[in-house]
Amino acid sequence: MQVTRNTFNDVMVPNYAPAAMVPVRGEGSRVWDQENNEFIDFAGGIAVNVLGHCHPALTKALNEQGNKIWHLSNVFTNEPALRLAKKLTDNTFADKVYFANSGAEANEAALKLARRYALEKFGEDRSEIIAFKQGFHGRTFFTVTVGGQPAYSDGFGPKPGHIIHSEYGNLDMLAEMMSDKTCAVMMEPMQGEGGIIVPDPAFVKGVRELCDKHHALLIFDEVQSGMGRTGKLYEYMNLDVVPDILTTAKSLGGGFPVGAMLTTKEIAEHLKPGTHGSTYGGNPLACAVAEAVFDVVNNPDVLNGVLKKEAIFREHLNRINEKYNVFSEIRGKGMLLGCALNDEYKGRAKDFMVAANNHGLMCLVAGMNVVRFAPSLVIPDEDIVEGLARFEQGIADIVAEK
């Protein structure tokens, strides 16, 4: 059956507006469309393709597990899930792991666990969840309400209650909001969808101290910042702050849908049998691929290489900006970077993304004012340089329009 981009308009629900081209093949950091046009991938499937496309370790794991066993349900456990959980707990603060299919599901589990923990330990009055404006935690109704972007949660009727939002980076405001009703504080240790915002480490430490003071749980959403993207396995390791619950997805599967919630033994005990579950969560195929991702990423050469590649990005982006003067700053860490547009180009991030795409570069936006890059951690240096040359061509087109 021959399908084209027009087929999307005929058969798909219109909640997405995908690009005009249809990718059909990928290798490393390069992608080809139906017409065999080549693109360099700085989007990474929205910070998912942590090792690029068709990495040999991942395809090997998928093929090997595909010839063994695909699905069991959680009536049984399986070897890939147990191996992956052991590696996650051995290399993080956590003692226990719950597997899901996505970041939203991992966050849903984290929020339900926090509520159950507070209910059983302190009583019904301790149910309030505090999150941050411009945060993003998924698209289930619970997680999208906790996320601090009303544009994503408005228009679907009454929202889940006992959820309030503070300003990211404003410790005084958070301190005023917290009380003995606070069940948990949920935050991204670096905001992704909200504009690639890197917080002051003192703010993050202050949040931890406030949670300790009020006996509230601290939940880190590391769906986007985790799995090596900032040069450490997880961003909390850069901040010298340990959360009570951590969620991870996106890069964890390198392109295969998988998510996980990590926590301590004491907290985990409150999700007793029957209190939460997932039909596909922890299935052997997903966990086999994620284990292969983990083995490649959790390597000093790869993690140290992330910061070296960041330096190449920053060097070329600063040079481009000196020439065209379109960015107010380059934000982010490692292979999660944001080019914040200055006042002259405010609100035009999507125009820059489309212009780059026209010159063979796939990138993202983070809101209306930030162009986002989330490439593979092992993208070759020459692909970074070539991709930024294509990005510069797109910028030149936009500047020439004025």
- Catalytic residue selected from 99, 220, 232, 250: 250
User: 18: closest CA among 373, 362, 378?
Assistant: 362
State the Cα–Cα distance between residues 311 and 339, nearest whole angstrom.
14
- Catalytic residue selected from 132, 142, 221, 333: 221
State the Cα–Cα distance between residues 361 and 386, nearest whole angstrom.
9
Residue 348 DSSP one-character state: -
User: 94: closest CA among 215, 202, 234, 278?
Assistant: 234
State the Cα–Cα distance between residues 75 and 82, nearest whole angstrom.
14
- Catalytic residue selected from 136, 294, 327, 391: 136
Helix, strand, or coil here: 285?
helix
State the Cα–Cα distance between residues 109 and 115, nearest whole angstrom.
10
The terminus-to-terminus CA distance of the chain in angstroms comes to 44
**How many of the other CB atoms lie within 10 Å of CB of 389?**
15
CB 287 within 8 A of CB 78: yes
The yes-or-no answer on residue 220 being catalytic is: no
User: Which structure tokens are listed for 164?
Assistant: 């309030």
273: amino acid identity, one letter? P
Residue found under tokens 């340990």? 242
The yes-or-no answer on residue 221 being catalytic is: yes
The yes-or-no answer on residue 86 being catalytic is: no
Across the chain, which distance is largest between two alpha carbons, in Å?
62
Q: Which residues are catalytic?
A: 136, 221, 250
